[in-house]
Amino acid sequence: MAPPRNLDEWLDLASAAGSLTGNFTRGGTVVAREALGHLLGDEFWVDAMDVALGSSEASEIARSLLGHVRPLCVVEPLAARAAVTADSTDERSTAIEVLQVVARPEALAALYAIAVQSEGLVRREVDWALVQGMLDLDRPFSDEALEQTIETHLQGSTDPGVRELAEALSDDVPHGAALDPAEVRALLGHLCTTHGFCLPPTAVEYLARRPPPRVSDFVDAVFFLEGLDPETAETHLYRSLFAEVAAAYDRR
């Protein structure tokens, strides 16, 4: 769609983006994303998808644009690449990650369809992408039954980290019980030997005296006390620590 140059063209854009609903008009982030998607066009977004799936220095900016606008036109081709039959391929993993970034109901429905047909490590990989996409969802599902089915699927995941995050989809209730001081010290010792997160004694005692009630808060605290930002942490590393901590909380 060409950029609007008069009122009629702006009205066409508003209609295409879903801003005009009966006698009312609406704006906001979701409508703006839809408008940008229409302005740049499907061809642009499919090209951006190809760049995001590649390994060039431009892949991150392409992925960021896809995550910001979340164009519908890339969902089907991404789902096709994410659903390849091989147990694990770089292209499949990247397509799963980009579907998560797009994080609109259609993308998450596609991830769910892949999850229920997968098993083992691939199933866990898709479940992680699915739960994180659900938490980043910016618009409602048109099919509430499907949304509930996905939430139930995630709450029954074999990965304790996924189950912990899935709690936030319904009521965001904290985990049933925080760890006691001895359990905190044992867990931090384990994270030191397995992942190299060796906190100084003062930091260990700080967490032992004030154990966070949520797995996510505990993991974030470990990153911060190590001098790292969990928001920019390597995805695989964060997931690995999250799974270890969630398993410790599950043993309570």
**Average pLDDT of the residues of the chain:** 86
Position 171 scores a pLDDT of: 44
Instruction: Give the pLDDT confidence of 15-37 residue by residue, as tens digits.
Output: 988 888 666 677 777 788 899 99
Global pTM? 0.67
Beta-carbon count within 10 A of 56 CB: 10
Domain assignments of the chain as residue spans, ordered by start: 7-170, 181-250
And the tokens for 196?
Answer: 């190299």
What is residue 49's predicted lDDT score, i.e. its pLDDT?
A: 96
Contacts of 205 (CB under 8 A, 6+ apart): none
The predicted model gives 223-241 an average pLDDT of 83
Give the model confidence (pLDDT) of 32-56 as tens digits: 889 999 999 999 999 999 999 998 9
**49 CB-side CA count, 13 A:** 28
Which class in CATH covers the domain with range 7-170?
mainly alpha
Confirm if 53 and 94 have CB atoms less than 8 A apart.
Answer: yes
User: Is the pLDDT assigned to residue 180 strictly greater than 50?
Assistant: yes
Which of 57-71, 83-97, 236-250 holds the top average pLDDT? 57-71
